[in-house]
A and B are shown apart, each in its own frame.
Chain A
Amino acid sequence: MLLAYQLALESDLIQAHMVEVIEFPHLGNKYEVMGVPRTVIDETIHIEGAVPEPMLMAEFAKLLQ
């Protein structure tokens, strides 16, 4: 979660949202959250589990294409 906050801080274009799925089960369903943490970038990129910085940035590169 901290990495997402760091990215939000770095760029005015990035928002970082923590979502606690037990309180918002409809969002858990919508984004097919079976395990946590689950990171969803721009509704399209889904990553399971804790994400190290290089791995997240590799996924991020897809947004720049």
Chain B
Amino acid sequence: MALLNAEIRKDVKAALADVKQPVVFKVFTQEMECQYCKETRELVEEVSALSDNVSVEVYDLVKDQAVAETLGIDKAPAIAVIGKKDYGIRMFGIPSGYEFGSLIESIKLVSEGESGLSPETKEQVAKLTKPVTIQVFITPT
């Protein structure tokens, strides 16, 4: 059974109409002890079916350890949203509810390669000299 109903598919398709540059979901699953791996893979596959420019690559956290390490992925389910380069956008766990909207927005961001942040913020970010990881903890809503 589809995770996205007809109404949501229609909205997502409209939201992704402007996605012109290719975006790849690299989704990591594992066979053992993974609550939402199957659903996470199905979710990104259903989304990718709604745009010609969005594709999915499925990896196994254990069997494809080398790929996982390259992307800094240490748990599953995980999604890396990759555009013309890897911008460092990751989702650990299923992006459902409110975060489904963020997933769709992340596709648009990565495709366009433009953050849309204010000039002040861009200026401040440009001053960074070392790597920073921002983790946002959420629950399904």
Stretch of B2-10, B16-24, B51-59, B87-95 on the interface side: B87-95
Residues from chain A with a CB closer than 8 A to the CB of B113 are: 9
Q: Mark B93-128, 1 if CB is under 8 A from A, else 0.
A: 111000100100110011001111110111011111
**Cβ 8 A contact of B128, one of A1, A39, A63:** A63
- How far is it, in angstroms, between the C-alpha of A15 and the C-alpha of B72 when the chains are bound? 10
Contact B93 A16 (CB under 8 A): no
B38 at the interface (CB under 8 A from A): no
Residues from chain B with a CB closer than 8 A to the CB of A28 are: 137
- Count of CB-CB pairs between chains A and B under 8 Å: 162
6 smallest CB-CB distances across A and B, nearest first, come from A20-B93, A15-B88, A10-B115, A23-B93, A1-B102, A18-B91
Q: A9-B110, A19-B93 are in contact. Are A39 and B134 (CB under 8 A)?
A: yes
Residues from chain B with a CB closer than 8 A to the CB of A21 are: 93, 137-139
State the interface size on chain B (CB cutoff 8 A): 46
Nearest chain-A residue to B114 (Cβ)? A9
Interface residues of B (CB under 8 A from A): 35-36, 72, 75, 77, 87-95, 99, 102, 105-106, 109-110, 113-118, 120-122, 124-140
Nearest chain-B residue to A26 (Cβ)? B75
Q: A6-B115, A7-B125 are in contact. Are A17 and B92 (CB under 8 A)?
A: yes
Contact A16 B94 (CB under 8 A): no
Q: A16-B89, A57-B124 are in contact. Are A10 and B117 (CB under 8 A)?
A: yes
Nearest chain-A residue to B90 (Cβ)? A17
- How far is it, in angstroms, between the C-alpha of A31 and the C-alpha of B135 when the chains are bound? 10
Residues from chain B with a CB closer than 8 A to the CB of A61 are: 124
Add 4 more A-B contacts to A12-B87, A18-B93 (CB < 8 A): A7-B134, A8-B89, A9-B87, A18-B91
